[in-house]
C-alpha cells in the first residue's frame, strides 16, 4: 500500500526540474482525418481522494504506513459516495470527447480494447478498426477525483490526462500528442496544458466532500468535461 501511495504522490506532483514535455501539434489540413475512433478504457474505475502533504507522512515509516491507510480509507469513502450517485468517470469523459469532436465535423466512434490497460499508458498496439477509421484517439487519464494540498486545505477536483492521435493505417505515425492537467500541483515547466479548477466545487474537508454525493460527482464531471473539451480543441 505504501508503494502505491508513493507512486500516486509522484504522479500528482509534476516536478518543474524534470525535462519539459514537448507536444506534437495537430495539422488538420494535412492530416486528412475525417473518422476518429476513441479507444475505450481511458480511465481507472476508481477516483482519487488524495491529501498531498498530510501530517502522518512526516513521521517516518510508521507515520507513512498510517497515512497510506488513511488515504486508502478516504478514497474508498469517496468512491462509495460516487457509486451512490451512479457516477462513471470514464463514460462521462468519453461521451464528452465524442460529442465535441462530432461538433467539429468528425465522424466519431468508441471502440473497446480486448485487454484492459494494466498501466495508465498509451497502447502499444491498436485493435483492428471497426469500419472506416482514419485515426485513433488514445487517451490515458492517470487520475481523476479530488486533491488537497495538505492538512486543513480544501479538496478540489483534479484530473491528469495524456492524449495522442495516431494514424489508423500506420499507428507509429503520431498526428497529435499532448498533456492536459486540471489542478495538479507543480506543473510549471512540465509542458502540459494547465487548467484552473472551478471554485464552485471546493470542499473544505473530507466531511463536506462526502455530504452531498451529487455535488461531489458534479465537481469531477465538470473537471472531466473541461479536460475533454480541451482534448477536442487540440483537433480543431
The pLDDT value recorded for residue 117 is 79
Rounded Cα gap, residues 177 and 174, in angstroms = 7
Query: What does pTM read for this prediction?
Result: 0.88
Mean pLDDT of all residues in 105-116 = 90
**Which is it for strands 155-167 and 48-53: parallel, antiparallel or unpaired?**
unpaired
Tell me if residue 7 falls in helix, strand or coil: helix
Mean pLDDT of all residues in 82-87 = 98
The pLDDT value recorded for residue 229 is 98
The pLDDT value recorded for residue 78 is 98
Q: Which of 84, 98, 234, 109 is nearest to 165 (CA)?
A: 234
Contact 152/51 with Cβ under 8 angstroms?
A: no
Contact 202/155 with Cβ under 8 angstroms?
A: yes
Work out the mean pLDDT of the chain and round it to a whole number: 87
- What's the gap between Cα 74 and its chain centre? 19
Mean pLDDT of all residues in 117-146 = 91
| Domain definitions of the chain by residue range | 2-10+20-233
Mean pLDDT of all residues in 223-236 = 98
Q: In the chain, what are the helix, strand and coil shares in percent, each to the nearest 5?
A: 40, 25, 35
Rounded Cα gap, residues 161 and 40, in angstroms = 14
Rounded Cα gap, residues 116 and 127, in angstroms = 12
Q: Which residues pair with 39 in a beta bridge?
A: 111
Contact 108/38 with Cβ under 8 angstroms?
A: yes
pLDDT for residue 3 is more than 50: no
Per-residue pLDDT tens over the stretch 5-21: 444 544 554 433 456 78
The pLDDT value recorded for residue 19 is 63
Amino acid at each position: 500500500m505504501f508503494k502505491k501511495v508513493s507512486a500516486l504522490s509522484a504522479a500528482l506532483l509534476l516536478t518543474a526540474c524534470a525535462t519539459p514535455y514537448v507536444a506534437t501539434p495537430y495539422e488538420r489540413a494535412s492530416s486528412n482525418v475525417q473518422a476518429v475512433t476513441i479507444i475505450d478504457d481511458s480511465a481507472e474505475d476508481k477516483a482519487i481522494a488524495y491529501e498531498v502533504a498530510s501530517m502522518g507522512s512526516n513521521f517516518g515509516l510508521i507515520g507513512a504506513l498510517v497515512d497510506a491507510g488513511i488515504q486508502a480509507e478516504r478514497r474508498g469513502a469517496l468512491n462509495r459516495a460516487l457509486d451512490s450517485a451512479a457516477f462513471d468517470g470514464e463514460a462521462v469523459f468519453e461521451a464528452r470527447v465524442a460529442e465535441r469532436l462530432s461538433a467539429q465535423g468528425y465522424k466519431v466512434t468508441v471502440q473497446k480494447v480486448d485487454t484492459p490497460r494494466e498501466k495508465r499508458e498509451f497502447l502499444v498496439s491498436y485493435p483492428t478498426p471497426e469500419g472506416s477509421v482514419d485515426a485513433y484517439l488514445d487517451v490515458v487519464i492517470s487520475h481523476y477525483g479530488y486533491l488537497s494540498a495538505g492538512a486543513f486545505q480544501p479538496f478540489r477536483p483534479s484530473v491528469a490526462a495524456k492524449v495522442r492521435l495516431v494514424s489508423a493505417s500506420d499507428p507509429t505515425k503520431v498526428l497529435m500528442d499532448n498533456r492536459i492537467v486540471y489542478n495538479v500541483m507543480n506543473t510549471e515547466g512540465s509542458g502540459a496544458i494547465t487548467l484552473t479548477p472551478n471554485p464552485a466545487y471546493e470542499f473544505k474537508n473530507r466531511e463536506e466532500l462526502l455530504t452531498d454525493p451529487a455535488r461531489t460527482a458534479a465537481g469531477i464531471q465538470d473537471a472531466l468535461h473541461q479536460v475533454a473539451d480541451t482534448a477536442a480543441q487540440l483537433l480543431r
